[in-house]
Amino acid sequence: MVAIVSLLTGLVALSSPATSGAVRRRSITPPAGCPIPTWTVNTFNWYNGSHSLDCIHNQVDISAQGCLCGTGWCAPDPATCNGSMVNVCWTGMPNYQPWGYGPPQTLDIKFADGLTCHDQYIGYRIHDIGHGESNCGYADRGEGRIVAFYGTSDVDSSIGHMDYTLGDGHALTCDNGSSITYSGSVDFPVTCIHDADFNATCTAPVFQVPVLSYEWVS
């Protein structure tokens, strides 16, 4: 359940991102008799449209009103709206692509070991793509796995950051029967292509997330 001991190497904190290329760090040596995972990200794909709804950071969107007509959106004009004028950012609004907005943000991360993360913006923090913890599928979050991605899609070329926590539910077993789990971090290059509407499609070359700390799981 709860970790009893947590040991960190002195190298965990990555304070200032490098200006180019992935910052490579060596994984820790695990305690004797314990397995250590290898985390390779084969696919990284992030779509952030210039008009994707953003109810967390964009004040214009936060205050915007739309015309909810039936199960969808009509032109946001109170004079012609045959449904009701509502805030587009209210919880539970349909499909998160109100009238006049572009497709919602999406993030897809595929690890070589089979883990696949898909996130789609749905209006609250755990889906705040590019700003930290992302949705790795709720079933898996229950196991404690966390994929946190930090980055920008505003420029063609930048450095992203990922913090990865394996989670107690995915603990590995050491020779002596103790359970152990791991975390890691990495900086990696992100390349974004912008279309004529400034919709951004961002990718990263294959990268590894080094294992930088471990925790005993009881």
Ligand X SMILES: *[C@@H]1O[C@H](CO)[C@@H](O)[C@H](O)[C@H]1NC(C)=O
The least distance separating ligand X from the CB of residue 12, rounded to whole angstroms, comes to 20
Q: How far is the CB of 186 from ligand X (least distance, A)?
A: 18
- Closest CB to ligand X among residues 113, 197: 197
Of 103, 149, 102, 100, the closest CA to residue 126 belongs to 149
- Min dist CB 161 to ligand X, Å, is 12
Identity of the residue, 49 or 184, whose beta carbon is nearer to ligand X in the bound complex = 49
* Closer Cβ to ligand X, 178 or 208, answer by number: 178
Residues 6 or more apart from 111 whose CB is under 8 A from it?
39, 40, 41, 42
Select 114 or 177, whichever has its Cβ closest to ligand X. Answer: 177
**Single-letter code of the amino acid located at 103:** P
Give me the residues that bind ligand X (CB under 6 A), please. 31-32, 48-51, 69-70, 74, 82-83, 102-103, 130, 152-154, 174, 176-178, 197-199
Nearest distance, CB of residue 143 and ligand X, angstroms: 22
Spacing of C-alpha 174 from chain mean position: 30
Annotate 181-212 with b (16+ C-beta within 10 A) or e (fewer). Answer: bbbbbbbbbbebebeeeebbbbebeebbbbbb
